[in-house]
Amino acid sequence: MLPVLIALSIIVLVVASYADLKTLEVPDWLNYSGIFAGLGVHALLSLHQSSFKPLFYSFLGLVCGFIIACILFYTGQWGGGDAKLLIAVGSIAGFVPEINSFFVSFVFNVFLLGALWGVLFSLFLAFKNRKKFTKTFKRLVKKRFYFNILLSGFIFFVVAFFASFFFKFIFLELILFGISVFALSYFIVFVKAVEFSCMYKKMSPDKLVEGDWLVKDVKVNNIVVKRSKIGLEKQDIVKLKRLFRQKKIKTVLVRYGIPFTPAFLAAIFSSTVLISSSLIFFGCHPRLSLSFSNLGMI
């Protein structure tokens, strides 16, 4: 990917990360600016090279980003801001169907580094709200469902531990597998405790924005606003504001997710380093260099 496109991606993601960490939102103007800037730069490249390929690859990246974003948005995994940001990066980076595809590397790193970022940020929230978190965690452990999760993980670990003495050729694998399952069961309860203690907030309806997630349905007489995986829509906010003005509700309980855009920023840096390193390797290797030059990659 050209340096100007990498620089453009970094600028968009730095601004997005700052906004997300500060307000828990990624502004639409930034996402749309990124989309049109990506298409615009590639259009200029197409004119300069007298080839439709740069603009086509930009559009292809936009479409691929849109498909992935829709899946994650409509399954409730990402908010609208994160989804639109992925489309913007797809437009800027473009999708070139080759072995060292920058966009493919970026998406992979977003998920990989996003998981790591999610764990680290959850630990930060738990530490920041440690009194509330500890109280919530203890309360969850006493509930049958979460207690059974921890108990199942512990039993699995014990079984794996004793089985390792009978299957000595996979002794270490069984021990590590048992520890992993127990750690996963503990992590499930940990994540729920973080969510309940750190990610729920009572919000005045006049401060709600599209995409906010209701924790539970709001029912007042015949008016019902249901929680949704994609968050609140305009008509939902209008109803809630009307109820607020009529003094029928004071607040609603809203769930906030982890600000995910820093993972995008980390992914763009890691992808740039990985792609650059691999191209240097291929360029230095005589046979690989010849093969990739025939493909037009270096």
Q: Same structural domain for residues 92 and 28?
A: yes
Residue 112 in any domain: the answer is no
- pTM of the predicted model as reported, rounded to 2 decimal places: 0.80
Residues 87-122: tens digit of each pLDDT: 999 999 999 887 778 898 999 999 999 999 999 999
Q: In this predicted model, what pLDDT tens digit does every residue of 218-250 receive, in sequence order? A: 998 888 889 888 888 899 999 999 999 988 899
Quote the tokens at residue 139: 């309360």
How many angstroms separate the CA atoms of 135 and 198, rounded? 12
Number of residues assigned to the chain: 298
Would you state the structure tokens that stand for residue 213, as one six-digit string? 């997630």
Whether residue 88 sits in one domain with residue 71: yes
List the structure tokens of 287.
């046979």
221 or 15, higher pLDDT: 15
Q: Which residues contact 58 (CB under 8 A, 6 or more apart)?
A: 38, 39, 41, 42, 43, 91, 92, 94
In this structure, is residue 124 part of a structural domain?
no
170 DSSP assignment: G
Q: Are 243 and 232 contacting, i.e. CB atoms less than 8 angstroms apart?
A: no
Domain assignment of residue 40, given as a range:
3-101+260-294
Structural domain tally of the chain?
3
Question: 110 in a domain, yes or no?
Answer: no
Q: Does the residue 278 lie in any domain?
A: yes
- For residues 230 and 285, membership in a common domain is answered with no
With respect to residue 115, please indicate whether it lies within any of the assigned structural domains. Answer: no
